[in-house]
Structure 1
Amino acid sequence: MASPPVLFSAVGLSPKDRQAIIVEAPTVRNKVTHLLKDGLTGFMQSLILNHHHTKEPFYVLDLGVVDNLMDNWTRFLPMIRPFYAVKCNSDPALLAAMATLDMGFDCASQAEIESILALGVSPGLIIFANPCKLDSHIRYAASVRVNLTTFDSGTEVEKIREFHPKCSLLIRIKPPDDGGSMWPLDSKFGALPEEVEPLLQAAKAAQLPVIGVSFHIGSRAACSRAYAVAIEAAKKVFEAAAQLGMPPMRTYFPDTTGMSIIAEPGRFFVESAFTLAANIIGKRVRGELREYWINDGVYGSLMCSALFEPKNLTCRPLGCNSNRENPTCEGALTYSSTVFGPTLDALDTVMKGHGLPDLEVNDWLVFPNMGAYSSALRSNFNGFNTSAFSTYLTYSNPS
């Protein structure tokens, strides 16, 4: 992207300073429980025994995990500013903590922009990263001075010219290779190579500056080479813009003066930071098979994991009702188990063939790595209110 390099306040901060900033963030202050590295299980047991008489599912958000991931990012990629993809998880405490560290944000709609601006984030730290936007949302972006967006079609150029003529553009291209992504997006978004020059000409005619190139390999890509070939494709766009006499854009070169590199991570920052606890509401025994019903499921937090990533989904027991002396059921005999969600749809099957001990109704199952596209995809199918789940804040320390 052709603008001065942008550094952010997380760079150079000590772990102690970052922690102090995070725990004082709005919506976070006075709500954080500090834990030792392995203190999560005990904390969840305490919550279940002392606070969860209603037995509703709940999340635990470990802001220490988010902080550690931010630290890794700033140490290994200090020249690349992250713009967190809000669609992945829009938990208010999470967003507030990120905002205190001067994170940028990738927003796809007016509502997402509103949620970020409400945290006091500068409009300049927001990218309206949706290549096809509602007219009303473009007008709103103009009104709040969110002046950077993506496009991949001529009709989008016309909409932006009409409703936000002061906006700068990133042309989104289709990457040549999706890297075996589990969630490829190239069938929906991204300009083809032969479309790039006409789109640049359309933007130039509309007097809308194209200041950079955007691409999205897809989520959970398996091959890093996909990024190399996408960057190479982006270089060709910069060259095409120069041939059209447009202001220079630089990338993929040794000389990066005047160059800003950004990334739009989502899953990286949140997947491992959230843990879900769900209550067992029903049980059936069929020989050696154990079948359990829990009060969350495919139509709640577990849609993405259960339907599309079952190999990555796991859980552990908390037998807080049946085995208080050994709630983690360490050493207990396990049985092949099926876990169902609460709705009437047979599709609402969370996992099959998972080894679990012989649990009882009102025991709990704990699901780690539940931060990515869990709360974001919840619905109220069959009348189950999945929007009322509580989120408890912790900060784990390494020792």
Structure 2
Amino acid sequence: MKVTNLDERIHVLDNASNVMTVIKDIATSGVQEEAFYVLDIGDIVRKHQIWKQKLPRVDPYYAVKCNDTLIVLEVLAALGIGFDCASKTEINKVLGIGVDSSRIVFANPAKLASHIRHAAGMGVDTMTVDNESELHKIKKLHPSAKVVLRIRCDAELAQCQLGMKFGCDPTHEAPNLLHLSRMLGLDVAGISFHVGSGCQDPPVFHRAIRHARMLFDMASDLGFKPYLLDLGGGYPGNKGSSIDKMADIINKALDEYFPSDDVHIIAEPGRFYVASAFTLATSIHSKRAVRGDENSPNAITHNMYYINDGVYGSFNCLLYDHQHVTPIPLKNGCGKMTPSSIWGPTCDGLDQVVENILLHDMELGDWIIFENMGAYTLPVASKFNGFPVPKVHVVTDEGVWLLLKDALPLTEDHFVIGNTPANLRLGLDIGGSDIDGWTDPTIQLAPTEILADSSSSTTSFIYDYVEVDPLN
């Protein structure tokens, strides 16, 4: 077995294994020090089944910006999903796995000129617009484009509001854009909207669909033949969340305003498909005990834990996506719980993952797990201060393997059949010839006894932490 930097293949687990057993196997191997993800592609497949069941008239076009991990795109392409791309790089990534250009919507209302030229050259014709200058730009650079007017209809409560940046007023601005499109000889193919990412206001979809119907009728009166309705994003994807209320409102509104099948209805889900599929494992590399109670000067009042991933890495979602994360210690604790905070590895004081939480006492080398880490994490992660972006290990069960192993762009070569604990523990792939430059293949990476039985091995950390007095 060689150490390679090829993309991790999909490990088909037996019935006794799951995401948590894989995490424990890697974390307790004695050789794992970096943070890592475990991606369950079966979770993505189950989300797709839910989508098709709850929203049978709506074709999903996955928002690539949410998580552009290659295996995610390949799995979604194998399921027949379309793609919402925001740049020529995203377009290239999707086209590069064999997706036809007709399954791509260039859903960025403010596009760089070079990106419009590239879309035209690649046959990506459908693109969103919300302003006059964009129409003139498209007329000049891609006159055969299929224009989709994006209107603004904001949810009252959403994780990320988008209306402040994108979307034209449906009552005043949109009619003017329709008239300008007619003057320029552009083809208005339909209407789109985005109520806000992580929407918690389901009724907003009814208002948006009603506005779209009015604009469809206006476009038809101007001589256009609109056929596309894009419901945008906003669908939650964390464990325990549901799209049932949204789906009920959307389905009823579609039956009311778009009852016939002559309109192609799509949406742009992102976090719905990937949020719960990724679980992040981090380890404690440093610990600081704070004494701050003047009545008990020797008592520890707060523990500060420093982990090997932070807001410049996977937890950028705290800053940019307004997420809330819940730490789950891998080992069950005992005794009293102490007010604690969790910090990232960089030298920046902003790098705080959890501000205040009650935790059992933990030591160096202990692992902390974070679920629901698939949305707006990896695409934005950086290597600030020299800390690496966590590796992704990909797993699934036999049922999903049988479903996807012959569904292009996936093939049997994407899968490793059967559990491979040594392989997973070391974060390696099987086979390949692209050897990491830092690796000396003559060096034994771990004693065989560690790989043989991790359950009886002791922690590889031999240091302790230092208790300090409060800072002035």
Name the TM-score class by shorter chain. 0.7 to 0.9
Measured after TM superposition, the shift of residue 277 of structure 1 is: 0.9
The code of the aligned residue for 2:302 comes to L
Do residues 114 (structure 1) and 126 (structure 2) align? no
1:272-296 CA distance string (max 9 Å, x none)? 0000111211101120421100111
TM-score (normalised: structure 1): 0.84
Question: Residue 162 of structure 2 is aligned with which of 172, 181, 185?
Answer: 185
Cα separation, partners in 2 of 1:283 and 1:194, compared to 1, 3 Å: same
Deviates more, 1:80-89 or 1:300-309: 300-309
- 1: distance between equivalents of 2:123 and 2:320? 39
Name whichever of 294-303 and 39-48 sits farther off: 39-48
Structure 1 residues 249, 116: closer, same or farther in 2, change over 3 A? closer
* Counterpart Cα distance in 1 of 2:128 and 2:15: 43
Deviations 1:164-207 (A, max 9, x none): 112101100011x4231121111111111211122112212222
Q: Give the match for residue 291 of structure 1.
A: 304
Q: Is 1:343 the equivalent of 2:346?
A: yes
* 2:236 counterpart of 1:236: no
Q: CA deviation at 1:254?
A: 5.3
Aligned residue among 37, 59, 71 for 1:59? 37
Alpha-carbon distance, 1:346 to partner: 1.5
Going from structure 1 to structure 2, the CA distance change for 1:44 and 1:242 (only over 3 Å counts) comes to same
Alpha-carbon separation, structure 1, partners of 2:258 and 2:78: 33
Of the candidates 111, 119, 130, which is equivalent to residue 141 of structure 1? 119
Task: Report the identity percentage.
Answer: 37
Tell me the residue number matched to 1:370.
373
The one-letter code matched in structure 2 to 1:361 is: L
* Paired amino acid for 2:269: P
- Relative distance call for 1:147 and 1:31 in structure 2 (3 A) is same
After TM superposition, list the pairs within 5 Å mapping 1:254-273 onto structure 2. 255-273=259-277
Task: Report the alpha carbon displacement of residue 87 of structure 1 after superposing the two structures with TM.
Answer: 0.3
Distance (whole Å) between structure 2 residues aligned to residue 109 and residue 206 of structure 1 = 24
Distance (Å, rounded) in 2 between the aligned partners of 1:127 and 1:338: 42
The 1:129–1:123 alpha-carbon spacing in structure 2 relative to 1, beyond 3 Å, is: same
Q: Which residue of 2 aligns with 1:92?
A: 70
Find the counterpart in structure 2 of residue 217 from structure 1: 195
2:360 to 352, 357, 361: 357
SS of 1:220 mapped into structure 2: strand
In the alignment, structure 1 residue 303 sits paired with structure 2 residue 307: no
CA distance in 2, matches of 1:213, 1:75: 24
Q: 2 CA distance for matches of 1:109 and 1:352? A: 35
Distance in structure 2 (CA, Å) of the matches to 1:151 and 1:308: 24
Is residue 316 of structure 1 aligned with residue 328 of structure 2? yes
SS of residue matched to 1:93? helix
Paired with 1:159 and 1:147, the residues of 2 have a C-alpha distance of 14
Q: How many Å separate the matches in 1 of 2:78 and 2:391?
A: 23
- The residue aligned with 2:439 is none
* RMSD of aligned residue pairs (Cα, Å): 2.2
Contact 1:56 1:279 in 2 (8 A): yes
Distance 1:255 1:270 in 2: 31
Partner of 1:8: none
SS in 2 for 1:276: strand
Instruction: Look up the equivalent residue of 1:89 and give its one-letter code.
Output: N
CA distance in 1, matches of 2:217, 2:312: 47
Deviation sequence 1:305-358 (CA, Å, 0-9, x none): 367646x3112112xxxxxxxxx2255543221100111222111002223222
The Cα shift of 1:397 comes to: 7.2
- The answer on 1:393 being equivalent to 2:394 is yes
Q: 2:85 corresponds to which letter in structure 1?
A: C
Match of 1:68 among 41, 46, 69: 46
Deviation >6 Å, runs of 4+: none
- TM-score for both structures, normalised by structure 2: 0.72
Is 1:278 matched up with 2:257?
Answer: no
